[in-house]
Structure 1
C-alpha cells in the first residue's frame, strides 16, 4: 500500500479531540477542498481525492486510523524551454530597438514568455497518500520527499483548522544506531540487518560508499567505519514480515511486505467483496505499520 514512510508526531490532546469528532464531519472538511483541474493561469493545483473507489477523501479503517490522498496537477514547463524562447525574443527585441533590453524589459519579457507557454505545458498528475493514526498520535506520509510530506501537512492543517505536529524524533539518531549495529555485527530485537548500506564520511568531504548485496561484516566495511565513516542508509528486515531501508533522516524507504497485505483487488472494483478485501488489507497494513514504528522507536532509544 505505502512504499515510503515519513512520520510526524502529533499533539496527543489534539488527536484525542479529533478522535471524538464524527468522521463524517472530518470528511466534509476535506471534501470542501477537492482536486480541481489546473487552470490556464496557474502552474499547479492540489486537493483531496478519493483514496479508494468506495468513498470520499477520508477513508476510515477503524481504530482511529484514516487514509488520505492528496492529488496534485502540475504544468511541466522546463526552464530550458523558457530560456530558449526568452533569449530568442530578447535578441529580436535588441535588433528591433537598436540596443540591448534593460533588466526590467528582460524581466517583463520572461513573464510574457511564461504566460504564453503555460497553457501549452504538459500536465503531470500525482498523488501523495497518508495515514492519520489518531490512536498513536502520528501522521504517516507515503513519500521519500520531506517537501511533499510538508506540503500535505500544510494542506491538511489548513483544511482541518489545525494540525499541531513535528517531525518524529528519537533519543538516538538513526545514523548512530545503524553505525553501531553494523560495527558490532548485531541488530536490535525484532530486526535483522540485511546486506546493503550507504556509508558517508563524517567530515566536510561527505564522500560516500554504497554497498549492495554484501556481507556487512566484511573487514573492509568494518575498517571504513573504524576510519570514521558512518552509516546513512541501511537495509533491514522486521519480524520476517517487512523489509525496508532506514535513512539517517529517519525516513523509511522501499517498504515491502513479505506477505501480501496490499488490497490490489479492492482497488480495482467497487463491489462489496472488493471493498471488504480492501478494508481488511488496509486494517492489517495500519496495524503492521503501527507495530513496526513502535519496535523501531524502541530500537532507537525511544521517542524524544
Structure 2
C-alpha cells in the first residue's frame, strides 16, 4: 500500500471525529477532469467504492486517499495549431498578430486540443496515526506532498502538520553507517546507495546490487562525498531506501511479514492497512531513535510527554513514539 513514506508531525491539535472529517472532505471529493480541464484533484473512497466513505478507520488508524488527474498537450502540437491560425489570419487580413494575440491564440489552441489529450491519474495514500500524532504520506516528491497537505489543511481547518525532523540528519547518519559498515539497531545496510560530491564537480557515484562494506565506499565518504540514498532492511521484514530528506522510498514488505497470513487476505483492504501500518508503525520510531530522536521546536514538549510534565531540554530531546496497535496483524 505504501511505496513511499513521508513523515509529518501533527502536533497538539485534536483530530475531528470521523463523521466531522468525512463531512469536511466531502466538499472536496474528487471529480474527473472536464473535457477542457487540465487538472483535477480531490479525495476519493480508499476502498475504491463509488460514493464510498472518504475516511476509513482500521485498527485505530485513519486512512485517506487523494487523487490527481492531469491532462497535457505537447507544446509543439499547441504551437503548430496556433501557427496555422496565425497564418490564416495573415492570409485573410494581411496583418501579423501581435504578442498578446499570439499568446491568446496559443491558449485557444490548447483548450481546443485538451479534449483529445490523454489523462494521467495518480493517487496518494494518507495515514493519520493519532496515537503517535503522525501524518504519513505515500508521496514520491515534495511538490506532490505539498499539494496533498494544502488540500488537507483547506478541507480540515485546525490541522497544522509540519515536516518531521530528527536530531541527526539522515545524510550524516548514512555517512557514518557506510564508514562503519553497519547501520545499528534492527537496521542492516543493503546493496544500493548514491553518493554526491559537494564540490564544484558535483561528482555522483552509484552502487547497485553491490556490497557496500568495502574500502572504496569508505574512501568516497572520507573524501567528502555524501550519501543521498541508502538501501536498508529492517528486521528482515521491510526493505526501503532512505533519502537525505528523511523520505523512505521503494518500501517493500518481505516474505517474513506474510508468514501466517492466508492468501485470501492479501487483497483485503483492512488486512493490507493493518499490515502496512503495523509494520511501519514500529519501523518509523526505531528509525527516529537511530537518528537521535525528534528535533523539537523551541519550547515544544515531546508528543509522549504528559500535560504539565517535566522540563524538556531541546538540545538533547529524545522522542519516545508509541508503537503500533498491538492488535494489528503483522
1: CA distance, partners of 2:88 / 2:120: 32
1:69 deviation in Å? 0.5
Q: Could you tell me whether the CA contact under 8 Å between 2:36 and 2:112 is conserved in 1?
A: no
2: CA distance, partners of 1:249 / 1:263: 36
- Structure with greater helix share of residues: 1
2:112 to 113, 116, 138: 116
TM-score (norm 1): 0.88
Tell me the residue number matched to 2:299.
Answer: none
1:5 deviation in Å? 0.6
Unaligned runs of 5+ in 1: 269-276
For residues 266 and 82 of structure 1, do their structure 2 counterparts lie closer, same or farther at Cα, with a shift above 3 Å needed?
A: farther
Q: Secondary structure at the match of 1:235?
A: strand
2: CA distance, partners of 1:91 / 1:156: 47
1:137 deviation in Å? 1.4
Further displaced range: 36-45 or 259-268? 259-268
Aligned pair 1:70/2:66, yes or no? yes
Q: Could you tell me whether the CA contact under 8 Å between 1:263 and 1:281 is conserved in 2?
A: no
Tell me the residue number matched to 1:278.
Answer: 269
1:147 to 130, 143, 148: 143
Unaligned runs of 5+ in 2: 296-330
2: CA distance, partners of 1:193 / 1:291: 18
Aligned pair 1:177/2:173, yes or no? yes
The equivalences for 1:1-304 within 5 A come to 1-11=1-11, 13-14=12-13, 17-18=14-15, 21-53=16-48, 55-63=52-60, 65-259=61-255, 260=257, 277-304=268-295
For residues 199 and 101 of structure 1, do their structure 2 counterparts lie closer, same or farther at Cα, with a shift above 3 Å needed?
A: same
1: CA distance, partners of 2:10 / 2:251: 23
2: CA distance, partners of 1:183 / 1:223: 8
TM-score (norm 2): 0.81
Q: Could you tell me whether the CA contact under 8 Å between 1:41 and 1:119 is conserved in 2?
A: yes
Q: Could you tell me whether the CA contact under 8 Å between 1:235 and 1:246 is conserved in 2?
A: yes
1:41 deviation in Å? 4.0
* Deviation by residue 1:197-248 (Cα, 9 ceiling, x = unmatched): 0010012432211101112122222222222111110000001110000011
1:280 deviation in Å? 3.5
Q: Secondary structure at the match of 1:293?
A: helix
Q: Could you tell me whether the CA contact under 8 Å between 1:153 and 1:163 is conserved in 2?
A: no
Q: Could you tell me whether the CA contact under 8 Å between 1:263 and 1:282 is conserved in 2?
A: no
Query: Structure 1 stretches (4+) deviating beyond 6 angstroms?
Result: none
1:146 deviation in Å? 1.0
Structure showing greater relative contact order (alpha-carbon pairs closer than 8 Å, 6 or more residues apart): 1
Q: Secondary structure at the match of 2:77?
A: helix
1:265 deviation in Å? 5.3
Further displaced range: 155-164 or 175-184? 155-164
Q: Could you tell me whether the CA contact under 8 Å between 1:31 and 1:56 is conserved in 2?
A: no
* Deviation by residue 1:41-88 (Cα, 9 ceiling, x = unmatched): 42111121111157511110133x211111222223222321222233
Q: Secondary structure at the match of 1:38?
A: coil
Q: Could you tell me whether the CA contact under 8 Å between 1:244 and 1:252 is conserved in 2?
A: yes
* Deviation by residue 1:144-191 (Cα, 9 ceiling, x = unmatched): 111111111111111112320211111111111101100121212110
